[in-house]
Structure 1
């Protein structure tokens, strides 16, 4: 998965080079671009197949590393408090298979103090992965739908929490938590640049 890490570094470098923009006179930014390294998955119950997780951090498969990235574009509608964001993630899932998600949703500021802010968001999300049915010892439980060599699941209510620490006027350090209940919680870290 070295290609994922290299891809992420190139995206960060390109992203960092975007020209800085001044805050709009209506009291906020118009847009932002987010690039995050994804991440870490914490399963909410013991996996029946921990041996198929090549990057697990414990013997029972509660925690596993996923290597990939998330790119998001956000359009602010009310100052920098309410926005619409589209995100695309691509990563190696817990079994080391190619996976991804596509998300479109609303975002709102939960709190902001000094350089710190916490945002919440929700909206429809499509999650997909290269099929696990080819993995020896894996028994399909029917949770995911199938299409050829892919498995997918559509959620009307997908969402996330995002903590941002303002590094300067236009750039934030950004950490997200995606509550994929009832299966897992995942984390990513990166930067958000306003323009």
Structure 2
């Protein structure tokens, strides 16, 4: 049996931009900058997500995710930080040299430049809490996470599709590259 640090696999990933689906129509859709549907349920966003994961064995790993959104639905800066335990598809018996699925579960912090300065903005306190000065809005969730699908392109390089299930408010999808070591 190999020591844990020799059996583990380290990977780095980057995803760029994406699409967000809002489950309910918001009273704030009038100022969504990248609205892709008339009702504002589907929007685009511009940003980059960096992830680092350490696969301890075939089933479990550790993962850190940092997203920097340069242009959210209202054209403001936002971010997402997540650290957690990554569960791999081998847990349920899926084994494929080309397809990989994983889920990272752990504390999740979403923050964005406050929208309160936008005329007509209606805050949803169930979604985000505004800071005392109103410059930033945020939400901390103990049980947040990401879903990821990797498609093997070549030996150590995967096409990655990452899904952020922000239920009941939003579902965000982005695509990028994952490099395995």
TM-score class normalised by the smaller sequence: 0.7 to 0.9
| Matched residue count | 169
Query: Equivalents in 2 of 1:146, 1:159: separation in Å?
Result: 22
Query: Equivalents in 2 of 1:167, 1:58: separation in Å?
Result: 32
CA RMSD of aligned residues (A): 1.5
Q: For each residue in 1:146-168, what CA deviation from the matched residue of structure 2 results, as whole angstroms up to 9, or x when unmatched?
A: 22310000011111211100112
Match of 2:43 among 61, 64, 73: 64
Query: Equivalents in 2 of 1:184, 1:140: separation in Å?
Result: 16
Task: Tell whether 2:88 aligns with 1:109.
Answer: yes
Query: Equivalents in 2 of 1:88, 1:25: separation in Å?
Result: 26
Query: Secondary structure of the equivalent of 1:51?
Result: helix
Task: Tell whether 2:151 aligns with 1:172.
Answer: no
Query: Secondary structure of the equivalent of 1:132?
Result: coil
The 8 Å contact of residues 21 and 43 in structure 2, kept in 1 or not, is answered as: yes
Shift of 1:56: 0.5
Q: For each residue in 1:18-55, what CA deviation from the matched residue of structure 2 results, as whole angstroms up to 9, or x when unmatched?
A: xxxxxx974xx521001011311001111222111010
Query: Equivalents in 2 of 1:142, 1:46: separation in Å?
Result: 16
Query: Equivalents in 1 of 2:17, 2:142: separation in Å?
Result: 22
The unaligned stretches of length 5 or more in structure 1 are 1-23
2:28 aligns with 49
Alignment TM-score, normalising by the size of structure 2: 0.88
Query: Equivalents in 1 of 2:177, 2:148: separation in Å?
Result: 11
1:88 aligns with 66
Query: Equivalents in 2 of 1:102, 1:141: separation in Å?
Result: 21
